[in-house]
């Protein structure tokens, strides 16, 4: 007997009782009758946006940020484990607890397995957090998740199989694509910062603004592409996204305080765990899995995380005394 053919990633769909399935190749910008090739938008615009985000992040990093890992071992270890291990485990647990449909469950795990968001450093400074710790965690997660994100995603596709059959996941291709749009732009920007520090500091705010604009266009385009059914999908994903965000940030803060980390370090880890690179999750959903429904949790998370991290900023400013002099992230003013 011939073996059953494995389904493509785009076949990850709900049964007849759920909301209408998304097409395999979903244009991001528009569905109007235009000469633009949807595949061109997916294959070029999304990777360009992701690479720009990582360049903006890399321009703010230095080699010393990695050396700091050997000095601040405990807070770095706690933050890295919370972001790379605890957060994805929460994603799996919430998906199982709420019995989410396969595409939404995979989407929850995917966004939880992505690296930290590019704006986490700014929120940490605003919260009077430990900026050095924030930068170190951003750098570590950006590199480690080149392998960890595909591993968690492969496991999610196995644990939450599609209604139509198993999904053939291109693990090697996913690692390569993440390497090209995440790790390489990050490292290239860091090398540029090392050799041309003055230029890097001058370009960093401009690149950050460009990255923010591209990300906004990408998110709005993805939402507009399925405006007719996004409400149905969000009804399934909304509670899971909110639960994931609250549980992750709460666990990060509680674990930090349990291990007697300084308030500035605890609030930094809370923000790092809460702010995810949702753009990468959206890119993987559209570019590799070809399933727009998987991107829905990332779309919601990418919007709501700014509000959640804003609350963390208020908490940090209440816990960490304002420094008398110097930048907000002064550590000598931070009592335990």
pLDDT at site 85 = 95
- The SS3 assignment for 59 reads coil
In contact, 162 and 101? CB cutoff 8 Å:
no
Distance between CA atoms of 322 and 128, rounded to whole angstroms?
Answer: 7
Tell me if 94 sits within 8 A of 242, measured CB to CB. no
Pairwise CA distance, residues 58 & 62, whole Å: 8
* 119: exposed, middle or buried (Cβ count in 10 Å: 0-12, 13-18, 19+): buried
Residue boundaries of the structural domains of the chain: 37-319
List Cβ neighbours of 114 (8 Å cut-off, separation of 6 or more): 145, 149, 276, 277, 278, 280, 281, 298
> What is the number of other CB atoms lying within 10 angstroms of the CB of residue 56?
24
* Tens of each residue's pLDDT in the chain, 336 residues: 444 434 444 445 444 444 444 444 444 333 443 444 555 566 778 788 888 888 888 888 777 776 766 777 899 999 999 999 999 999 999 999 999 999 999 999 999 999 888 788 889 989 999 988 888 888 888 888 889 999 999 999 999 987 766 667 788 888 888 888 888 888 899 899 989 989 988 998 888 888 888 888 877 777 766 666 667 777 888 899 999 999 999 999 999 999 999 999 999 999 999 999 888 998 898 888 888 889 889 988 988 998 999 999 999 999 988 775 444 444 444 545
May I ask the CATH architecture of the domain 37-319?
Up-down Bundle (1.20)
In the chain, what are the helix, strand and coil shares in percent, each to the nearest 5?
70, 0, 25
3-state secondary structure of 63: helix
Q: Is 260 left (phi over 0), alpha (psi -120 to 50) or beta?
A: left
């Amino acid at each position: 007997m011939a073996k059953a053919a494995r389904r493509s990633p785009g076949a990850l769909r709900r049964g007849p009782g759920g909301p209408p399935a998304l097409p395999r190749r979903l244009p991001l910008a528009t569905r109007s009758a235009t000469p633009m090739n949807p595949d061109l938008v997916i294959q070029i615009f999304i990777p360009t946006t992701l690479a720009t985000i990582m360049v903006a992040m890399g321009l703010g990093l230095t080699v010393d940020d990695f050396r700091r890992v050997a000095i601040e071992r405990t807070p770095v270890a706690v933050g890295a484990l919370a972001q790379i291990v605890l957060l994805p485990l929460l994603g799996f647990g919430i998906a199982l607890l709420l019995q989410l449909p396969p595409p939404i469950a995979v989407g929850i795990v995917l966004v939880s397995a992505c690296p930290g968001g590019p704006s986490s450093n700014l929120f940490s400074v605003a919260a009077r957090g430990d900026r050095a710790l924030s930068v170190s965690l951003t750098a570590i997660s950006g590199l480690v998740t080149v392998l960890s994100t595909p591993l968690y995603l492969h496991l999610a596709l196995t644990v939450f199989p599609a209604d139509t059959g198993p999904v053939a996941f291109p693990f090697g291709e996913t690692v390569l694509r993440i390497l090209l749009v995440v790790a390489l732009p990050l490292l290239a920007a860091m090398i540029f910062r090392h050799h041309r520090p003055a230029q890097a500091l001058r370009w960093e705010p401009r690149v950050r603004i460009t990255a923010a604009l591209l990300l906004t266009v990408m998110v709005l385009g993805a939402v507009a592409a399925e405006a007719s059914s996004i409400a149905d999908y969000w009804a399934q994903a909304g509670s899971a996204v909110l639960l994931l965000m609250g549980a992750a940030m709460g666990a990060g803060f509680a674990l930090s305080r349990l291990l007697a980390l300084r308030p500035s370090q605890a609030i930094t880890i809370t923000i790092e765990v809460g702010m995810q690179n949702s753009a990468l999750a959206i890119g993987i959903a559209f570019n590799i899995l070809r399933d727009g429904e998987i991107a829905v949790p990332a779309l919601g998370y990418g919007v709501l995380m700014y509000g959640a991290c804003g609350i963390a900023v208020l908490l940090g400013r209440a816990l960490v005394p304002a420094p008398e002099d110097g930048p907000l992230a002064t550590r000598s003013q931070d009592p335990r």
